[in-house]
Amino acid sequence: MTPTIIDVVVLTMNDRPAEFRQAMASLLAQRDVELRVVIVGNGVEPDHVPAGVRTVTLPANVGIPEGRNVGAEALAGSGCGEFVFFFDNDAILPADDVLARLVTEARSRPEAAYVQPRIADPGTGVTLRRWVPRLRAGDATRPGTITVMAEGVVLVRRADYEAAGGWPGHFFLFHEGIDLSWRLWDLGRTGWYAPDIVINHPASNPARHAGYYRLVARNRVWIAYRRLPAPLIPLYLAVWTALSLVRIRSRANLAVWFAGLREGFKGGHGQRRPMSWATVLRLTRAGRPPIV
């Protein structure tokens, strides 16, 4: 049987040399699949590139979602893979059959545009709540249909990815997976969480990124304007404002968050393609109405 072709997109800024080498070694050790790998240097020329791996050098850091788009496009065309695997450069595939198992899971779920493995910290084995792509995240080992994704390690059918228009590149960072997931659902597709397939990733704090509070607030507004029917926009933003007021304890961080919210209202969200009310109903039936 001919191995399934998977296009793999890895981003780098040359700031994690040890982790990057480990990530690439675990990736290239995968068996029973055929990999076409591209490393995108986001504002850098990639270092430590294994033999036979393609590279793309971007003159400036265009952000994570656009970097992923560039990588997927670099591998598009004749001979491209049936699937695209987006792989963080500090993640590790702990076994040599992880990608083959993800493909098998996708084959068994033809309605699913993407398959999300369970992410676990390599040292503790803990799966953070934000890594479980559903509202009821208490049991990280429960499989099921999902309506969002953890973007850093996810397998997506290329045909669905292209039909959805890829990642919202101008988001730069944060919440791009919500936008892409909702677009895939609006195309009549679904997502699937396969927690028995584990990928390791350090349990780091996303707030370590400069501009975290500004970007998460701005991008929430952009998601609402891009993807929601008009009556749901104020409800969605009201829910996330209330949650943020509860969660963000620092007044300084909250001020930055509100600045991001104002930035989002000023525009820049891009093309508005609201989901249908039928999609709203499907998402609600799947356990996550598109207001939370």
> Tell me: the pLDDT tens digits for 153-164?
999 999 999 999
Same domain, 69 and 176: yes
d(CA 291, CA 213): 20
Quick one: average pLDDT of 254-260? 95
Query: Helix or strand or coil: residue 49?
Result: coil
Q: Is the pLDDT confidence value at 183 over 80?
A: yes
Q: Is the pLDDT confidence value at 208 over 80?
A: no
Residue 234 in any domain: the answer is yes
Same domain, 252 and 128: no
d(CA 292, CA 284): 10
Residue 113 in any domain: the answer is yes
Q: Is the pLDDT confidence value at 210 over 80?
A: no
Residue of higher predicted confidence among 143 and 207: 143
Q: Is the pLDDT confidence value at 207 over 90?
A: no
Quick one: average pLDDT of 165-182? 97
Quick one: average pLDDT of 204-209? 75
Residue 148 in any domain: the answer is yes
Long-range contacts of 25-31 (CB under 8 A, 24+ apart): 26/92, 26/93, 26/94, 27/87, 27/93, 28/53, 29/93, 29/96, 30/93, 30/96, 30/97, 30/98, 30/99, 30/100, 31/96, 31/97, 31/100
Q: Is the pLDDT confidence value at 191 over 80?
A: yes
d(CA 30, CA 35): 8
Q: Is the pLDDT confidence value at 243 over 90?
A: yes
**pLDDT tens readout for residues 271-280:** 999 999 999 9
**pLDDT tens readout for residues 87-106:** 999 999 999 999 999 999 99
Domain limits for position 240:
211-274
Give the residue from 289, 287, 64, 10 showing the smallest Cα distance to 175.
64
Q: Is the pLDDT confidence value at 5 over 90?
A: yes
Same domain, 187 and 89: yes
Q: How far is CA 247 from the centre of its chain?
A: 23
Number of domains in the chain: 2
Q: Which residues contact 20 (CB under 8 A, 6 or more apart)?
A: 12, 14, 47, 48, 89, 90
Asked if 215 contacts 223 with a C-beta cutoff of 8 angstroms, the reply is no
- By the 10 Å C-beta count (0-12 exposed, 13-18 middle, 19+ buried), 97 is classed as middle
pLDDT band at 138 (very low <50, low <70, confident <90, very high): confident
The C-alpha angle 74, 212, 121, rounded to 5 degrees, equals: 75
Question: Which whole-number Å values give the CA distances from 230 to 122, 226, 227, 288, in the listed order?
Answer: 42, 10, 9, 18
Amino acid at 19: E
Residue 222 in any domain: the answer is yes
Same domain, 236 and 197: no
Residue of higher predicted confidence among 191 and 1: 191
First to last CA, the chain: 44
Quickly count: other Cβ atoms within 10 Å of residue 188's Cβ.
14
Residue 282 in any domain: the answer is no
Residue of higher predicted confidence among 154 and 135: 154
- Tell me what pLDDT residue 265 has: 97
Per DSSP, what are the bridge partners of residue 200? 92, 120
Asked if 280 contacts 185 with a C-beta cutoff of 8 angstroms, the reply is no
Read off the CATH number of the domain in which 193 is found: 3.90.550.10
- How would you label 118-131 residue by residue, b for 16+ Cβ within 10 Å and e otherwise? bbbebeeeebbeeb
Quick one: average pLDDT of 156-183? 97
Asked if 128 contacts 203 with a C-beta cutoff of 8 angstroms, the reply is yes
Quick one: average pLDDT of 38-55? 96
Same domain, 78 and 125: yes
pLDDT band at 228 (very low <50, low <70, confident <90, very high): very high
Quick one: average pLDDT of 281-289? 96
- Tell me what pLDDT residue 244 has: 95
- Tell me what pLDDT residue 28 has: 98
Residue 279 in any domain: the answer is no
